Amino acid sequence: MCGINGIVSKKKDKLDIIKNMNKRLNHRGPDAEGTFNSEYVSLGHKRLSIIDITDTGNQPIYNEDKSIVIVYNGEIYNYKEIKEELSEYKFKTNTDTEVIVHGYEKWGKDILNKLRGMFAFILYDKNKEELFIARDHFGQKPLYYYKDDEVILFSSEIKAFLEYPKFNKELNKDLLGAYLTFSFTPTEETFFKGVYRLPAGNYMTVDVKTNDIKIERYFKLEFNSTDKSYETMVDEIENVMKDSVKHHLVSDVEVGSFLSSGIDSSYLVSLSKPDKTFTVGYDIERYNEIDYAKDLAERLGIKNLSDKISKEDYIKALPYVYYYLDEPVTDASSVAVYFLSKLASKNLKVVLSGEGADEFFGGYNSYDDNIYTKLPLPIRRFIASICKHLPKNKYTNYLIRRGLSLEESYISINRNFYDDEIPYVLNFDTYIKNKDILKDTYEEYKDYNKLNKMLVIDIKYWLTNNIFNIVDKMTMAFSLESRVPFTDIEVFKVSSSLPFNYKIRDGQTKASLREAAKRSIPNESYKKKKLGFPVPIRDWIRDEDLYNDIKETFNMEIAHELFNHDYIIKLLEDHKNKVRDNYRKVWAIYSFLKWYQVYFINNGELSKLG
């Protein structure tokens, strides 16, 4: 796990800029630093040593005649197997990085079809005067780029671009409507105008003489239902998960694991049996998972280290969380992952984490069809039209959502504001419409069944742009590598073949995964319903201290400029007075404004955060 930077330009000061960009990414790689500089290209690397922890593993890494150079972030879990296919090359290191270099020499861009892991890399082919830049299948590792008339910039994190003296830091307010609805930034565009993320499963080539950019997809999400028996597929899930965990444990340093009360992390811990596991919770009992985690750890004979997060510590951490995230998210669990990472980083460098299981195996409750959804759509539309005029709660929201076709209603698992609310929230009407964000994806997968369409949306948008952004940025804030064995290309090959009734069965989500996990988990965690990272934000917002801070934040000048001030204050007051449960909407606006304060008022300077 590392941080990478790149510049394409004829500017003479490229190397100085790269070194400053590297400093911005110290948290991603405190163990070593490296740079490369040529007429057209400069590359930078910050290293967190995991594989081949000697100096020979430092980057950039070259091929034998130094015509190819790479900076790389991630882990290739099958690098030893690939290395056996490259026996004609002389390896100078024991790293997985060098496998990409020689693999590119042998197979060109087809090397991507052989990689099993999480990765983002920038490879410079001097003979072609071309950059080859790629991101892993599911977007576990981030990669951003920015282009103006003089340079093209690349980095693991947007904040590194602030070190380019001519970087035009401008708010991309057109994304605000999408953010409020999706609960994160769902597009290739970011909240920094002119900054884009390379999509997951894509690669980019750059002609370093002309600065021409070309982006192509090398991996497509595809689902094909098997005709194998349920019992056979449970066996296959068990086998592929054991294999994935085995590969994800390959390391020259100790590997621990995050542990909550749910099936996903419990299964990983039961398979991997790490020496140390880590859990965070809260003083409010219904939000606390520590006792569940300790029970499993005791049954397995391993250690569980835990910590409780106070409201005061949670609020104090917010500016740092938004700084490391680069962009705002409404997911309040991001702060919990921040504290969890902080706890783990005091003990080791690598942890396993359970992301991807819900999106691969059908874990969210909304995936389960029920009798109501069997009613004809016109009847459900009529009921929804009535509910739109009633007070909003989980029941009316459900009926509204089910009164629309999937393409009209489903944007991802964690919808916040509805489309017809956005004009009342924002003070401008030039925002990107949600239907325009998703229409190409829905068109591409129009022949898929309902569940698989939802899984595509959630993997492509929710998992990649929200969950992995949070996990990568929060762990790397503390120089900690997170590995996610569920989000593995071999695991996906199995999960993508499961029919609906192997995923949702007798009213239970993730049915076949639970059956496989049952064979390894020594308690009843495999039965638990999806909780996520429960956070007491709903209660805390009603406390005077946080309520007053939110109200003060809602009175910022930028809040008056972007939002309908009376409307957002009413959202806050109605929640405070228990008229309506608006905590997610209030938190979304508050999070955006706190993020704006970090990057556009404090200029993204860590020293100004407190």
Pairing of strands 68-76, 61-62: antiparallel
Give me 285's structure tokens.
């009992």
Indicate if the pLDDT at residue 368 is higher than 90. Answer: no
Domains in the chain, ordered, with CATH? 2-217 (3.60.20.10), 230-363+453-527 (3.40.50.620), 378-436+536-608 (no CATH)
pLDDT at 394 over 80: no
pLDDT tens per residue across span 244-261? 999 999 999 999 999 998
Q: Quick check: 493 pLDDT over 80? A: yes
Contact of 542 with 576, CB cutoff 8 Å: yes
What's the rounded mean pLDDT across residues 547-563? 97
Work out the pLDDT band at 388, boundaries 50, 70, 90: confident
Q: Say yes or no to pLDDT of 238 above 90.
A: yes
* Per-residue pLDDT band at 528 (split at 50, 70, 90): low
Helix (H) or strand (E) holding 6: strand 2-8
Active site residues: 2
The per-residue pLDDT for 384 is: 87
**Distances from the Cα of 602 to the Cαs of 144, 168, 357, 363, 562, in angstroms?**
22, 16, 38, 40, 19
Residue type, 234: V
CA distance 246 to 273: 11
How far apart are alpha carbons 234 and 514 in whole angstroms?
9
DSSP structural state of residue 508: B
Residue 533 pLDDT exceeds 80: no
Q: Is the pLDDT of residue 597 over 80?
A: yes
pLDDT surpassing 80 at residue 369 = no
Question: Among all chains, which residue has been given the structure tokens 């949702």?
Answer: 504
Give the tokens for residue 401.
């959502």
Q: Please say if the pLDDT value at position 372 is more than 90.
A: no
How many of the other CB atoms lie within 10 Å of CB of 44? 32
Q: Is the pLDDT of residue 531 over 60?
A: no
Q: What is the DSSP letter of 124?
A: E
Calpha distance 229→560 (Å, rounded): 59
**Which pLDDT score, from 0 to 100, does residue 374 have?**
75
Give the pTM.
0.95
β-pair partners for 123: 70, 132
Task: Establish whether the linkage from the previous residue to 60 is cis, with ω within 30° of 0.
Answer: yes
Say if residue 241's pLDDT is above 80.
yes
For 260-309, what is each residue's pLDDT tens digit?
988 999 999 999 999 999 999 988 777 778 998 999 999 999 999 999 99
User: Mean per-residue pLDDT for 448-468?
Assistant: 96
C-alpha distances out from residue 3 to 48, 158, 275, 325, Å? 8, 11, 28, 14
In the three-class reduction of DSSP (H, G, I as helix; E, B as strand; rest coil), residue 74 is classed as strand
Position 520: which residue type? S
CA 309 to chain centre: 22
The single-letter DSSP state of residue 30 is B
Identify the pLDDT of residue 526. 58
Please compute the mean of the pLDDT values over residues 468-481 and round it to a whole number.
98
